[in-house]
Amino acid sequence: MNKILLIAKREIAERFNNRSFRWLMFLGPLFVLGMVYIFLATTTTNKKEWNVILFDKKEIFDTKITPNPPENLSFFFINAFIDYDEFAHQEKYQKYDISVWINEKIVSNKKVMVTYREKLPEHVKRQIIFLVERRMEEIMVDQFTDLSVEKFREIKQSLNFDFRDAYDPKNEKSNTASWVGFSFGALIILFVFMFGMTILRSVSREKSNRIVEVLLSSVNAKQLLTGKVLGIGFSAIVQFAVWTLIVGAGLAIFRSTVFPDMFSAELVADAVNNVNYSAELATQSPFVDLIFNQIQYTNMLLFFALFFIGAYLFYGAFFAMIGASMGSESDGQQFIIPLSLLLLASILSGYFVVYSPSTTLAMWLSYIPFTSPMVMMIELSNGFEDGNAWQLFLSLAILFISAFLMLILAGRIYKNGLLRFNHRLKLKMLIKWMKK
Amino acid sequence: MINVENISKYIHHQTILDDVSFTLEKGEILGLLGPNGAGKTTLMRIINKITNPSKGFVSFDGDLMKEQHLINIGYLPEERGLYQSMTVEKQMLFLGKLRGLSATDTKTQMDFWLEKFDISAWRKKRIEELSKGMAQKVQFICTILHEPDVLILDEPFSGFDPINIELIRKELLEFKKKGKSIIISTHNMNNVEEICDRAILINKGQVVLQGTIDELRQQHKEDIYKISFKGNMIAFANALWAGYEIIDKEVHSDDTFTIYLKMRQGNKINDLLNAVIGQVEISSVEEVLPSMENVFVKSINAQNEIESE
């Protein structure tokens, strides 16, 4: 054990002494934050005035929304109900930026569909939510109760707003929660590839500079492999922890300083002259809700770590095998390509699951260890139905058992291939070494 | 100290070692000789438990060789290897600890050897910054850092200049004095003659011969004598007649010569002296034993000829 720790410590020291590792530790999360910033910045627009049309066939709103509409919004009413497609493409509706569909069953189903031509800034979304909610309260109080508006507010059910792209009303092109899971999954694959390649390079370098023979006169091949995988894995986890801290801190800074209008409920409430309503507004913005309420970071990060460890051990075994069996540093390229394709296939499987989450194939992909770390992150971000959490644990168990078996297999190839030099690596050779 | 018993090794139906046995005694330097591909490196890897034998076993002080015995062995492989980006100091600390030394003991040993080899100034240098010879010195220190009882050195003198060869040679003799045992694999037969007590010659995986250096040279001697004299060369040659064959001569001046003679017809040294005394003034006579290089070449060729027949 002591020797394994020594090997692991050396690997850790080598990573941390490596300039590119240190740069990546800080530049990587800054890059992620940059991407988030661009995403957030592009959701805000320079457009200052928005024309909002309310399709209210039954005239539930009675062509009224508020006596003092905010300066940036102009409201129009039509007592008709048209297809989403008509709003999107007909000439006469082109002057309207936003459409709000007041369904005749709004009182019972509480659903409000909003479509937009151009991605809406969060504060505009909140203004619409706030104004429609308030108008609805007036209607409900006026028609169905004897309560005051304030009293009604305490017991009422909020409306469910569904914001959709006018040109993609079925929301086929986006599934935000899934994409968050996809991002976590892709991050696992990225880390696995990065640190898998680190294992491969470390093994092949020890072979090419021949220190492996010196090491093997003090430790056995299994100890060497275990120490190496543990050391590089620990470096990866530290790297990930630093990424999490920096990205977390960055998001907090974004929330409080760079994009306050997007995240601060008070500012939006100010915009519609009602500061008291801010708390409720904060939970109603879909984006803010997703980022700060819907995604369960504790769960996501915990399972991210578990799936990352499983995937790292599973794929790391392949990388170690290739590194140990390479005749020269360039020789293993032929085997790195199919392994990279497997990782790419894993990302593509995630893409498939985002759009087809409930198919049989998606279910299988969530259990196959090659794809489960990617797919399960998406499933996790979408949430499991009650009583279905066992799927998550089954997938994890399959991944860890597969990783364990792969490490045993890798150990055999590692032992047999480590002291072979200057040969041309063939699949037949690998199979022979596996059997030994 | 180390007993190698009936070791055989087969790789892909090819015999690398065939029933090799020998013993390394305490305080002995054993030369492991053989042409390229004879199986020396495989044998050294088996002793170091880097690879397993197909048959036979190795014992250490009477016990079957186990991993715990490896801390008593220092192994210097032929293909030198160090972490290129690590400093000399960190490299030594890592390898010392890996061989069971505490950090403090490793540092003490490291300071001693860096000082002794006069390379303390390199302590903070990375291996990639050192010349090949410098790196060889570092590698040698890494091998002996944990004060092993047995050293197994594959071509320990390669890559060194004559001054450093002498330095390493002295150190090895010093180790021997301290009762440590050493196996040296080398192609340099002068080194074998100078420092080895015994030698074992392996060819195509088989032990061709083994014994003390003197025994091996005696076994292969060819009744050749070196005689130095002052006088007339023609008179000397006439005196020999047919019982001797002159195989070489060195002319020092008009009347001073050294002649190499091979005895024929069962003649002995006394017969030679009787024949030439009175003809020339003899200054010295000595038997010429074959060099280890000759022993090596002749033995290998003889075995190859037998196999080809």
The per-residue pLDDT for range B120-152, each reduced to its tens digit, is 888 999 988 988 888 888 999 999 999 999 999
Average pLDDT over residues B293-309: 81
Query: Which of A41-50, A312-321, A323-332, B215-224 is the most confident on average?
Result: A312-321
Mean pLDDT, all residues of chain B: 88
Average pLDDT over residues A402-416: 86
Residue B74 host element (H or E) = strand B73-76
**Greater model confidence, A398 or B238:** A398
Give the Cα separation of A361 and A285 in Å (integer).
34
Do B193 and B291 touch, CB atoms closer than 8 A? yes
Residue from B13, B82, B83, B90 whose CB has the most chain A CBs within 10 Å, to mutate:
B83
- Domains of chain B are 2-218 (3.40.50.300), 222-288 (3.30.70.1150)
Average pLDDT over residues B158-174: 88
DSSP SS3 for B211: strand
Whose CA is closest to B74, among B88, B95, B57?
A: B95
Q: How confident is the model at residue A283 (pLDDT cuts 50, 70, 90)?
A: very low
A159 to A51, A132, A165, A272: CA distances (angstroms):
22, 9, 19, 18
Q: How confident is the model at residue B68 (pLDDT cuts 50, 70, 90)?
A: confident
Phi, psi dihedral angles at B275 (to 5 degrees): -70, -35
Work out the widest C-alpha separation in chain B, in whole angstroms.
75
Whose CA is closest to A358, among A372, A379, A373?
A: A379
pLDDT score, position A330: 67
DSSP SS3 for A367: coil
**Greater model confidence, A274 or B159:** B159
- Of A22-31, A45-54, A212-221, the range with the lowest mean pLDDT is A45-54
Query: What six digits make up the tokens of A403?
Result: 């990783």
Average pLDDT over residues A415-423: 73
Say how many C-beta atoms besides its own lie within 10 A of residue A42's C-beta.
9
A351-382 pLDDT tens trace: 888 887 778 888 899 999 999 999 998 888 87
- Of A132-146, A268-282, B280-294, the range with the lowest mean pLDDT is A268-282
Chain A CB contacts of B82 under 8 Å are: 209, 211, 214
Q: How many percent of chain A have pLDDT more than 90?
A: 17
A38 to A95, A100, A141: CA distances (angstroms):
28, 28, 43
Please name the fold of domain A50-165. Answer: D-Maltodextrin-Binding Protein; domain 2 (3.40.190)
pLDDT score, position B17: 92
State the DSSP code for A424: P
Judged against a pLDDT cut of 50, whether residue A80 lies above it is answered with: yes
Tell me the HSE value of A436 on the side-chain side, using a 13 A CA sphere: 19
A89-121 pLDDT tens trace: 888 888 999 999 888 888 888 888 899 887 777
A114-168 pLDDT tens trace: 998 877 777 788 888 888 888 888 888 888 777 777 777 777 778 888 888 888 7
A164-186 pLDDT tens trace: 888 877 665 556 677 778 888 99
Q: How many angstroms from the chain centroid is the CA of residue A165?
A: 21
Whose CA is closest to B153, among B270, B300, B40?
A: B40
Task: Pick the residue from chain B with its C-alpha nearest to A9.
Answer: B94
Q: How confident is the model at residue A332 (pLDDT cuts 50, 70, 90)?
A: low
Say how many C-beta atoms besides its own lie within 10 A of residue B47's C-beta.
26
Task: Pick the residue from chain B with its C-alpha nearest to A220.
Answer: B50
Phi, psi dihedral angles at B59 (to 5 degrees): -120, 150
B201-238 pLDDT tens trace: 898 888 988 899 888 888 888 888 999 999 888 888 88
Task: Pick the residue from chain A with its C-alpha nearest to B139.
Answer: A214
pLDDT score, position A19: 87
Say if A111 is an interface residue toward chain B (CB within 8 Å).
Answer: no
Chain B CB contacts of A201 under 8 Å are: none
Give the Cα separation of B253 and B257 in Å (integer).
7
Q: CA triplet B220, B17, B38: central angle to 5 degrees? A: 55
Whose CA is closest to A198, among A322, A356, A338?
A: A322
pLDDT score, position A44: 55
State the DSSP code for B150: E
Q: How confident is the model at residue A281 (pLDDT cuts 50, 70, 90)?
A: very low
Average pLDDT over residues B237-242: 79
Query: Which residue carries 């498939």 as its tokens?
Result: A352
**Greater model confidence, B181 or A66:** B181
Minimal CA separation from A432 to chain B, in Å: 10
CB-based burial, A370-404: b 16+ in 10 Å, e otherwise: bbbbbbbbbbbbbeeeeeeeebbeebbebbbebbe
Sequence-distant (6+) residues with CB within 8 A of B36 are none
**Residue ranges of domains in chain A:** 2-38+175-435, 50-165
Phi, psi dihedral angles at B77 (to 5 degrees): -75, 160
Q: How many percent of chain A have pLDDT more than 70?
A: 83
Task: Pick the residue from chain B with its C-alpha nearest to A6.
Answer: B98
- Where do the H-state alpha helices sit in A92-218? 106-109, 122-144, 149-155, 176-208, 211-216
pLDDT score, position A85: 85
Strand order of the β-sheet with B181-185 is B73-76, B150-154, B181-185, B29-33, B198-203, B206-212
Give the Cα separation of B209 and B135 in Å (integer).
35
Query: What six digits make up the tokens of A133?
Result: 């909610």
Closest partner CB to A419 (pick from B50, B84, B86): B50
Say if A210 is an interface residue toward chain B (CB within 8 Å).
Answer: yes
Q: How confident is the model at residue A262 (pLDDT cuts 50, 70, 90)?
A: low
Query: Which residue carries 């490596």 as its tokens?
Result: A18
Q: How confident is the model at residue A280 (pLDDT cuts 50, 70, 90)?
A: very low
Say if B103 is an interface residue toward chain A (CB within 8 Å).
Answer: no
Closest partner CB to A220 (pick from B67, B83, B84): B67
Answer whether B48 sits within 8 Å of A216, measured CB to CB.
yes
